[in-house]
Structure 1
Amino acid sequence: MLCHHCRVLATRIIQRASPKVSQHSRLLSSISTQTQRATRVLPRVSHSSPRASHIRSRPFSASATASDSAAAASSATPALPEKPDYLDDAESAIWDKLTAEFSPTELMVQDISGGCGSMYGIEITSEKFRGVNMLKQQRMVNAALGDQMKDWHGVQLRTKVP
């Protein structure tokens, strides 16, 4: 599934290709609009359905074994979550920036734009958010990501206090 921006670009490329293809893209566009209208009425698909089997949930948190909890209690810095090996380069850069800035106890970064890198889902839990309202928490994350976010169409951001 393509994000809106990528879908518009693909439609423009198809329209430039040939007039016959342009007619097909208009038909595809009308079908897409009808599908969007229908999905507003229908309930959302649960992750257990066969249609959503390709969706991967990737939450990660610091493991808390007995030895880890004893070490965490003795040290002032909380244990950082382990960086997953399946992150692509852009997701990895976001992960590194957020880890350096916030020392999170839980962090999840996922490209939710279908692979084009235009929209990311970020869930972060950090002690630095304690005593700060949600809007300020999200502004802190936006400030940390700064220049990277300028190239994105959107971000789904969830911040939590441990």
Structure 2
Amino acid sequence: MAPSRALARSAASAFVRPPPRATLRLLFMARRISCLAAVRPTALQPGPLRNSPATATSTRSYSQAPEPPDYLNEAELHIFNKIKAELAPVKLEVQDISGGCGSMYALEIESAKFKGLPIIKQHKLVNAVLAEEIKSWHGVQLRTKAV
């Protein structure tokens, strides 16, 4: 055998074969679980049930209209107040997701006015309320829910 081939074979035998995919997947999952346990130990421990008396007092009450948070900019506050006045929501979140230029917004609205309406009609109702504003937007992400 030529010396260059013998050298190539000995170099090739020095490499170790990688473990099978299943082994890699198990190692990855074990590492991920250990990271979760280190960061959030309570996430893996059982907690009280949703409808138990312990959580009944800690659940959020939607009896009154939401107040605008302090961190909203002027355009977000305008949208917040307009939706609040027209739809009387129990939960309302407005966020400029365009990077600050005001061309795309994410809206999350829960209102009793949506009761009995399919999602498409809920969205049409929001679009009717914000018709003037939407004309200048690039896009909008709507999440609506009936209360």
TM range (shorter): 0.5 to 0.7
Residue deviations 1:119-144 (CA, integer Å, cap 9, x gap): 00000000000000000000000000
Specify the SS of the correspondent of 1:136: helix
Give the deviation of 1:161 after TM superposition. Answer: 1.2
Give 1:31-46 correspondences, 5 Å limit. Answer: none
Task: State which structure, 1 or 2, has the greater radius of gyration over its C-alpha atoms.
Answer: 2
Q: Which structure 2 residue ranges, 5 or more long, are not aligned?
A: 1-56
Report the Cα distance in structure 1 between the residues aligned to 2:71 and 2:84, rounded to whole angstroms.
17
The residue aligned with 1:139 is 124
Give 1:74-153 correspondences, 5 Å limit. Answer: 78-153=63-138
Report the Cα distance in structure 2 between the residues aligned to 1:92 and 1:127, rounded to whole angstroms.
22
Structure number with greater CO (CA < 8 Å, separation at least 6) is 1
Residue deviations 1:52-105 (CA, integer Å, cap 9, x gap): xxxxxxxxxxxxx79xx6xx8xxxxx4101210110000000000000011101
Q: Which structure 1 residue ranges, 5 or more long, are not aligned?
A: 1-64, 73-77
Give the number of aligned pairs.
Answer: 91
